[in-house]
Structure 1
Amino acid sequence: MPVFVKNMLESRWLWLIARCCLAFLFLSSGLAKVLDTENSFQEMRAAGLEPTWLFNYASAIVLLFSSYCILFQKYLWLGAGALSVFLLLTILIVHNFWTMSAPQATISMYFAFEHIAVIGGLISLCIAGHYRNKVNELTDAQHTC
């Protein structure tokens, strides 16, 4: 691996950018649920989720809290895990393409596949965060010796 690539992969800036990229999707969705309640309530009704206000604000809390965890590395595993469960539930409740007919089934299937890919990214983020913490612990231990 070229040195410049190794240095980039180990940099704090690229780690921050990776977390921001993943959190952006969920942070913007959570803010939309709080700031544009009329459209958010319509989405909840279309998915058959009642009471709409409860599902809307519960979703917003999960999205915003989990984004915070990812952005600031506070319980990163919890934020990524909560978002993964959220995405799985979204597939089962909203994008359940196996119960639909074409063309809606095809669109929902693509959304479900996209959600699965994002879950993979969240898992990768947890793995990377875990190993970055281990490297930092080793580095700190070497500096104290």
Structure 2
Amino acid sequence: MIAARRNPRFVDAILDWPATAPLARLALVGAYLLGAVVKITDFQGATAEQAHFGMTPPAFWAALTIAVEILGPLLILTRRWLWLGAGMLGVFTLLAAITANAFWSMPAGHDRFMATNAFFEHVGLIGGFVLVALLDRRERGA
């Protein structure tokens, strides 16, 4: 049996730094916040994006996407109902990945390769949302 090793001191210093967790949460949700800002400033483009993916009515789906991309990150960043924000973004991310990156329905080639990578990157984000909710629960002693 291999004895457990401690982290190197510099790793412990980074993990123990009070700003590490909030910055990690911001890194996890930053793209969603940026997406919301872009969609708000170009609502016509956001609506066209929803129409491109067959979502009807597209304006409703664009508005709902903006709401999720703002509310989910705020819940995670403030740690108020973090589990709900993580769940919202996790479900949203899964639905977006299935809708926008359906690699299984594409012929072999570059586009399929790119869609496959994007799909599994989204799955990785979903894992991040699960982990942030688990860590928050553990930190709160629940």
Assess same fold via TM > 0.5: yes
Instruction: Tell me which interval the TM-score lies in, with the shorter structure as reference length.
Output: 0.7 to 0.9
TM-score norm. by structure 2 comes to 0.86
Instruction: Report the alpha carbon displacement of residue 120 of structure 1 after superposing the two structures with TM.
Output: 1.2
Q: 2:83 aligns with which of 69, 72, 77?
A: 77
Gaps of 5+ in 1: 138-145
Residue in 1 that maps onto 2:53? 47
Task: For residues 26-46 of structure 1, give each alpha carbon's deviation from its aligned partner in whole angstroms, at most 9, with x where no partner exists.
Answer: 111122221111221221111
TM-score norm. by structure 1 comes to 0.84
Task: For residues 98-131 of structure 1, give each alpha carbon's deviation from its aligned partner in whole angstroms, at most 9, with x where no partner exists.
Answer: 1122333222111101101111111111122122
Count of matched residue positions in the alignment of Structure 1 and Structure 2: 135
Q: Describe the SS at the equivalent of 1:12.
A: coil
- What is the root-mean-square deviation of aligned Cα atoms in Å? 1.7
Quote the sequence identity (%).
27
Q: Does 35-44 or 46-55 show the bigger shift?
A: 35-44
What is the rounded CA distance, in whole Å, between the counterparts of 2:54 and 2:61 in structure 1?
A: 10
Higher helix share: 1
What is the rounded CA distance, in whole Å, between the counterparts of 1:10 and 1:133 in structure 2?
A: 16
What is the rounded CA distance, in whole Å, between the counterparts of 2:96 and 2:69 in structure 1?
A: 12
Instruction: Report the alpha carbon displacement of residue 55 of structure 1 after superposing the two structures with TM.
Output: 0.5
Gaps of 5+ in 2: 1-6
Residue in 2 that maps onto 1:98? 104
